[in-house]
Structure 1
């Protein structure tokens, strides 16, 4: 199921007016447990914040915990949700393969699981998997990156965590577009695990090996912002085009400042809220209300030309 950009605009406008409104008082309908990756990252913070606000608005109690990519922590959090008799679990999985056992444990305990943001490599276990259309977003980003850097350049790539399918999907999406330009030369690449500090360190190392690069294409904003810090320190930012992915507040500010060429906005507020609504529908009717387990939500592009048009309806809030 594909959520189009037009529907994203409509839903985003609704999100601002409704999802962050005062929580309506209602009879407690039970617990919805929300498990995200790392709340210190503004993207995942927003994911948990929106899911919690939506659940509470529907009359549930809700809690948010983070596994920080560790499947053992994730498994314990699932155990806690089972012990607390959660009505549903909203889960951003730690590992595409390694999280399957934890999801199965919840399902065996009679608790429906709704996956958001990152997939698990198992169909028919979770009630729904709601994710950004990463291939579409990567193509958008790569095309914008080429417009910014030109069709003849040397560049490096910063990649996300290998345990997350999104990392490979975005990297492959970049490759599909950039490979069409034979004068674009990829001279280096490294995994920075979605992390700003690692992006900074990896960028420093790649600059030592390749001091004359023209561009950096990154799998997410945090790594891109780390790269920008390293480039600034080396006095090279004015000569290097950097592109990001997520639509975080810091990234949008960097676009406004002319430091980041663009960011690809993931509609995290939209699919996080939608996952809770589908969980609510399932709790009440035994059905999610949609026809497909996997649901894709289109991304949008934030550039210097349109960045001032992006309000809190689109930009992640912390």
Structure 2
């Protein structure tokens, strides 16, 4: 059994501000300037209440539902205005939302999970800063930094990027951990990914290519893109199992897709001969880990992402405290040491979504 101990550093400012709960999050008298790496600083005006626009990629899965729930709870507890804008995983919808909010000027801070790293680069990092809008991003890279290492995810114009679990560093180490867990077993793996072009999808593809080129008895024989839903993943895995009967491992990048993969294995009568590893370890995963349908699951921490991101915004606005340029958003382990949750670990583990 593993010892799960990690301090969520980004929660510090939120905890500090919570001491002032239900008083508005207001900038100090006289205001202050924030250096975000551009030619001109962002000016936080004095005695101004914080108003946050939260731009989410989609609210169609449990992960983002947990993010929204946490954001709304923090906003209520601390006393700042927050409005959620759902892009429905459509880049143009999100771009229109960003441009409309920029034009109407109703919000002085943005929390963004960008759908398209390149399309919305300028509006998030330059146009917002030009209007003195404080911006934090998480989960998905901005401005084409998808394949950058975690330490290089910050882009001038934003105050912080949150999300190590989506980067090439963490995904690569997670894959290495899975390979180590299957040491001595020849593995023919199927890879269930999310949408093409996302930071985590690009990282998965890079990791699969690296492992397939190595002499380690671990080969990827089939891959599929998905929409992060169980139904879609079930259909994709059913097709891959027929095309690749030699498959004996499935790697899935999200819990809901894992549920679909397990349904496909059950229908094919192959639950006992295919090992399933995923990232997520959500509430729905716990019974599947307990019964052995999921061999091991690395953790996603949507609520930690929100605490660190909104904590950064509150810290800048109310206290003039700049956050680290990148924050890992992890609840367990660190970027070089992903924690795999197995059945024997469940007694000490609490999922975030």
Fold shared by both chains (TM-score > 0.5): yes
Q: What residue in structure 2 maps to residue 57 of structure 1?
A: 77
2:232 to 198, 201, 214: 198
Whichever structure has more helix as a proportion of its residues is 1
Contact 1:137 1:300 in 2 (8 A): no
**2:117 paired residue number:** 96
Q: Determine if the alignment matches structure 1 residue 310 to structure 2 residue 344.
A: no
Q: Which runs of 5+ in 2 are unaligned?
A: 26-48, 145-154
Structure 2 counterpart of 1:222: 256
- What's the CA shift string for 1:12-67, capped at 9, x where partnerless? 9x79xx79x9x942236342111222223111111222222223322202122321
Contact kept, 8 Å, 1:219 with 1:245, in 2: the verdict is yes
Q: How many residues align?
A: 305
* Deviations 1:84-123 (CA, angstroms, capped at 9, x unpaired): 5212111111022222144144333321210011111362
Q: Does 1:189 align with 2:199?
A: no
Tell me which of 156, 177, 188 is aligned to 1:124. Answer: 156
Match of 1:3 in 2: none
- 2:31 maps to 1:11: no
Deviation at 1:230, TM superposition (A): 1.0
Distance 1:8 1:267, change over 3 A: farther
Which of 328, 335, 339 is residue 296 of structure 1 equivalent to? 328
SS at match of 1:9: coil
Contact 1:145 1:261 in 2 (8 A): no
- The alignment partner of 1:125 has SS state of coil
- RMSD over aligned Cα atoms: 3.1
Structure 1 unaligned blocks of 5 or more: 1-5
- Choose which of 259, 272, 280 in structure 1 pairs with 2:293: 259
| Bigger Rg, structure 1 or 2 | 2
**TM-score normalised to structure 1 length:** 0.83
Match of residue 89, structure 2, among 34, 50, 69: 69
Provide the C-alpha distance between the structure 2 equivalents of 1:35 and 1:261, rounded to a whole number of angstroms.
34
Relative to 1, partners in 2 of residues 1:235 and 1:96: Cα closer, same or farther, differing over 3 Å? same
CA shift for structure 1 position 282: 1.6
Moved over 6 A (4+): none
